């Protein structure tokens, strides 16, 4: 896992080359709806790209994390199926339903049944390198999605060019990310992280939560501002020093939400001394997003070391899948 996290920049670089070598020939370029379907490490890229596309896309972008599909999926829909292994049963069932609904389909995978499905039906396929845990390969899938959304006109070209620029930035700052990730892990060790972000950046909060879950084998939760100000904030009356609020912040956060987060810090301070703020570097959403992803990925790795757990092991998921297969 340590090597995979360190190779984040190389994943982006490789994935850009794959995109350049894989022009989309059979994918609907003018859909009335885009659905990105994927779960876990295979699906978080869809959540992030949907966040980024919201201010730019003139058509709805839905993220699907289930077996079923919205009834609005039809022949004018572009359905993007993301499964790193190619064998995620929820995604495979959903993509079959998308085909039955007449949707245009694009598959992003390293192989498996999803690759076979794409080849059998003549759908465009973006094949990425396989053989690793899906959560450790976000650089591949996220880059493909950014490239596709730029091609569709749902993201400006700057999003793809910033992905390319960040390859050198991530490499040049490698030691800084490791040092800051270790410091963040030290801060969170033996506490429960409570992760907050502006609603437009929820994907980054979800990513950090998932990485703590899978890499560090620990529980935590996340919520978004301003929604949590209308419900969860009241629950902080039961807060304690066992909790460590983590505020994911960026210069592009809406001004009123910045004010809300500042007030939240004062409220948290009445219950715990462990609030920490992570300020995303850069001005562009891609710069900010990749900075926070890489930093928190490192933190989840160092948390696994501090907790003395196997960062790669996911036996409980394997048990679940095995039991489902026999039912």
Q: How far apart are CA 288 and CA 265, in angstroms?
A: 21
φ, ψ for residue 10 (rounded to 5)? Answer: -65, -35
Closest CA to 203 of 19, 15, 29, 61: 61
Classify the C-alpha dihedral 13-15-16-20 as positive or negative.
positive
Does residue 97 carry a catalytic annotation?
no
Catalytic residue among 56, 281, 284, 321: 321
As a dihedral over the C-alpha atoms of residue 53, residue 73, residue 44, residue 152, rounded to 10 degrees, the angle is: -40
**Angle 194-234-240 from CA coordinates, rounded to 5°:** 50
**3-class secondary structure, 322:** helix
Q: How far apart are CA 250 and CA 231, in angstroms?
A: 23
Catalytic residue among 162, 214, 223, 294: 214
Does residue 291 carry a catalytic annotation?
no
Does residue 227 carry a catalytic annotation?
no
Q: Residues in the chain, how many?
A: 327
Three-state SS for 31-80 is CCEEEEECCHHHHHHHHHHHHHHCCCCCCCEEEECCCCCCCCCCCCEEEE
| Structure tokens that stand for 249 in this block | 């912040």
Radius of gyration of the chain (CA): 20
Catalytic residue among 25, 230, 270, 315: 230
Question: Do the Cβ atoms of 47 and 142 come closer than 8 Å?
Answer: no
Q: Provide the annotated active-site residues.
A: 214, 230, 321
């Amino acid at each position: 896992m340590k090597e995979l996290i360190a190779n984040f920049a190389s994943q982006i670089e490789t994935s850009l080359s794959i995109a350049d070598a894989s022009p989309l020939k059979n994918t609907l370029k003018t859909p009335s709806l885009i659905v990105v379907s994927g779960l876990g490490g295979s699906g978080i890229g869809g959540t992030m790209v949907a966040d980024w596309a919201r201010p730019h896309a003139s058509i709805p972008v839905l993220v699907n994390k289930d077996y079923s599909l919205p009834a609005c999926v039809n022949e004018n829909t572009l359905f993007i199926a993301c499964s790193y292994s190619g064998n995620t049963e929820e995604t495979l069932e959903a993509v079959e339903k998308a085909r039955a609904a007449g949707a245009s389909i694009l598959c992003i995978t390293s192989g498996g049944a999803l690759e076979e499905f794409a080849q059998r039906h003549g759908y465009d396929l973006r094949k990425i390198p396989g053989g690793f845990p899906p959560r450790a390969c976000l650089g591949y899938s996220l880059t493909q999605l950014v490239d596709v959304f730029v091609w569709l006109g749902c993201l400006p070209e700057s999003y793809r060019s910033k992905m390319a620029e960040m390859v050198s930035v991530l490499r040049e700052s490698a030691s800084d990310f490791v040092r800051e990730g270790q410091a963040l892990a030290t801060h969170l060790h033996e506490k429960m992280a409570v992760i907050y972000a502006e609603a437009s950046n929820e994907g980054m909060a979800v990513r950090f939560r998932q990485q703590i879950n899978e890499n560090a084998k620990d529980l935590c939760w996340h919520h978004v501002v301003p929604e949590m100000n209308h419900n969860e904030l009241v629950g902080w009356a039961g807060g304690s020093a066992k909790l460590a609020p983590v505020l994911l912040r960026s210069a592009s956060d809406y001004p009123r939400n910045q004010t809300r987060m500042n007030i939240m810090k004062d409220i948290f301070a009445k219950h715990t001394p462990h609030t920490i703020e992570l300020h995303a570097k850069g001005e562009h959403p891609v710069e900010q997003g990749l900075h926070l992803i890489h930093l928190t990925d490192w933190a989840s790795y160092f948390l696994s070391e501090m907790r003395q757990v196997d960062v790669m092991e996911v036996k409980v998921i394997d048990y679940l899948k095995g039991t489902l297969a026999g039912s």
